[in-house]
Amino acid sequence: MLKNQFIRVTKKFTFDMAHALYGYDGPCKNIHGHTYVLYVTLKGKVLEDTNHPKNGMVIDFTDFKRIVNEQVISIFDHSLVLNLNSPHAQLKELNANFEKINYVPYQPSCENLIIDFLNRINLKLPSNVIVNSLKLEETPTSFAEWFLEDNL
């Protein structure tokens, strides 16, 4: 068996979220929702320690799932995401009628969301693994991707 090899491990997450694109010149300027699919691929070397319970793993999938759920899914699932600089932030009726609104300091496009998710996940990853790629599907035919190799 080849030792000391990099391996990529991936988990798939699904969540529902609404957003509006402030100042956009199309229908997505209105509040609307999507069922998002997020693929997170981590890269690291397999632990080679026969005395360790995580022997043979890059990361325990249970830990992987917990990190992404805590940093992304629990925050964004069934929420309304709006640009903090939009006039929506001033609408008292909006804030009074929705329990879970996330005002973000960016336009909540698929591209910007994926960068936000990357930063959130990176905060909690163990030092022996890195994010290799993210894919965020906004619809079954539209998605954004981030790759480590493009950003070195």
| Active-site residue (options: 48, 88, 138, 145) | 138
Tell me which residue has tokens 């990176």. Answer: 122
Active site residue 34: no
Beta bridge partners of 134: 40, 146
| Active-site residue (options: 32, 48, 52, 78) | 78
Give the DSSP letter string of 28-58.
GGS-EEEEEEEEEEEEEEPP--TTSTTTT-S
Active site residue 110: no
| Active-site residue (options: 19, 28, 70, 99) | 28
Reported residue count of the chain is 152
Active site residue 145: no
- Give me 131's structure tokens: 């994010």
Q: Alpha-carbon torsion 99, 141, 11, 43, what sign?
A: negative
Q: Alpha-carbon torsion 60, 124, 71, 24, what sign?
A: negative
The one-character DSSP state at 99 is S
Q: Which residues are catalytic?
A: 28, 78, 138
